[in-house]
């Protein structure tokens, strides 16, 4: 599914797609924007680089979340910070 979403984003840039997930690992590397919701309210919206930060993800989930990006893929891990 992730490869299909990336293929659509690259081959049909005029299309918009919406992905709803609790897992950053499920996001296509081709996404450009993100929206974080907490308790039904917008916590952050903007480019993925602006929104998917350690600070914003921690605020969204109410617990420490480590965020990283490797080879275009987003990764999130719950736990304490090193």
Confidence of residue 81 (pLDDT cuts 50, 70, 90): low
Q: Structurally, how many domains does the chain consist of?
A: 1
SS3 22: coil
SS3 73: strand
Domain with 69, as residue range(s), is 2-78
pLDDT greater than 70 at residue 82: no
pLDDT at 72: 86
- CB contact burial 42-77 (16+ within 10 A = b; e otherwise): eebeeebeebbeeebbbebeeeebebeeeeeebebe
- For 11-68, the pLDDT digits (tens) are 888 888 888 999 999 998 888 999 999 999 999 999 999 999 999 999 999 999 999 9
Q: Which is higher by pLDDT, 47 or 80?
A: 47
pLDDT at 80: 67
């Amino acid at each position: 599914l992730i490869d299909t979403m990336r293929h659509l984003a690259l081959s049909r840039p005029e299309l918009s797609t919406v992905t709803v997930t609790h897992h950053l690992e499920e996001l296509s590397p081709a996404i450009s924007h993100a929206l974080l919701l907490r308790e039904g309210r917008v916590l952050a919206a903007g480019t993925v680089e602006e929104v998917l930060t350690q600070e914003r993800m921690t605020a969204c989930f109410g617990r420490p979340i480590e965020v990283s990006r490797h080879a275009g893929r987003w990764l999130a891990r719950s736990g304490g910070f090193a």
